[in-house]
Amino acid sequence: MKNRYDEDSVRIRPARNSRPRSKDRPSHDSAQAALVTTIDRGRYTCVLLGQLDHELTAITARELGKSAVVVGDRVDLVGDLSGAPGSLARIVRVQDRSSSLRRTADDTEGTERLLVANADQLAIVVAAAQPDPQPRLIDRCLIAGLNEKMKIILIITKTDLTEPTELIAAYQDLVSQIIMTTKNIDLPELQNSLAGHVTVLVGSSGVGKSTLVNALLPAAARRTGDVNEVTGRGRHTSTSAEAIALDDNTWIIDTPGIRTFGIAHVSSATLAEAFPDLTDYLANCLKSCQHDQTDCGLTQIPESNQKLITRADSLRRLIVSKSN
């Protein structure tokens, strides 16, 4: 005999006995301030400000959204702040940033990627050899740093392999300081330049960023690698950015090696500001000058001044790349 169904056989799911989510969020007045030192798969390692030895793990609150927090951010934490194994705090606010070092995938891609926050000093690390210096990459990092009003330092490593005379001549008027290092790193000069600053180290793989960090703070134990003899490129050793405290007021942020540094987010006016040695010639340009026409002020540079001609070519390359 077939089963017979009537209205009493139908199961009615009871209504949800929950109120809609309130738009009023808690103020978290008791939240504690911390600094994000590294990020790994949605987990944020933080240290409480003023307590560098108090390290803990946190996640972000849902309302902050994805990619809202980067290394160097100062954040407010609630939840379990004990730092005990298995404990988990929650990031409920990101404090206002003093700077945001950003780059794009290339000069035509408008999507910005935020690298680090709150650094006031940018150290561009380049090797004198193995791998060879990349002036265009240096220029792009320089422009990105100037766009955020950072103090710029050029650190030239491996100067025991070759004398970086041309590199020094090209950038000595564009950066605040040039520091040269060999295998026996001159720590006092480097330490004095870093003291009291939050400094982010950028550069291609194999130039010695992690080696510098290990020399300054051996306990950091950052992985180092060699240069590929076939391609002349360095091998990636650091896979994520990490903020490391040298003391209460001095931080360095080591970043993974880069091969490109898009500057689509930087205005053309900022590009020109990165070349103060060309200011006198740029002043003779028309307001609509694209720096590629015959009446451009840059064409007035004497042919005997090869240094400025090279700098002008670099500026033109950046402008053309952006306009394309």
Q: What's the first-to-final CA gap in the chain, in angstroms?
A: 78
- The pLDDT score that the predictor gives to residue 22 is 61
Structure tokens at 178: 């040039």
Structure tokens at 89: 């705090």
Task: Kindly report whether the peptide bond that precedes residue 131 is cis, defined as omega within 30 degrees of 0.
Answer: yes
The structural domain count of the chain equals 3
Structure tokens at 278: 């060309």
Residue 262 maps to a domain: no
SS3 66: coil
Contacts of 263 (CB under 8 A, 6+ apart): 103, 104, 107, 140, 143, 144, 147, 271, 318, 322
Q: Which residue has the higher pLDDT, 268 or 248?
A: 248
Q: Which residue has the higher pLDDT, 223 or 158?
A: 158
Residue 178 maps to a domain: yes
Query: Could you say which DSSP state residue 206 is in?
Result: T
Structure tokens at 214: 């290990």
SS3 of 267-300: the string is: CHHHHHHCCHHHHHHHCCCCCCCCCCCCCCHHHH
Residue 14 maps to a domain: no
CATH number of the domain encompassing residue 148: 3.40.50.300
Residue the block writes with tokens 């030239």: 156
- The pLDDT score that the predictor gives to residue 15 is 63
Same domain, 79 and 105: no
Torsion of CA 67, 118, 52, 189, to 10 degrees: 130
Same domain, 249 and 123: yes
Parent domain of 174: 100-254
What number is the average pLDDT over the span 162-189? 87
> Which helix (DSSP H) or strand (DSSP E) does residue 96 occupy?
none
Q: Which residue has the higher pLDDT, 106 or 240?
A: 240
Express each pLDDT in 210-245 by its tens digit. Answer: 889 988 887 765 544 444 443 444 444 456 899 999
Same domain, 173 and 294: no
Same domain, 227 and 304: no
Q: What percent of the chain has pLDDT over 90?
A: 46
Residue 17 maps to a domain: no
φ, ψ for residue 51 (rounded to 5)? -135, 75
29, amino acid identity: D
Q: Domain end: 254, 276, 293, which one?
A: 254
- The pLDDT score that the predictor gives to residue 236 is 44
Same domain, 189 and 131: yes
- Name the nearest CA neighbour of 78 among 67, 90, 88: 90
Same domain, 144 and 200: yes
Residue 290 maps to a domain: yes
Residue 259 maps to a domain: no
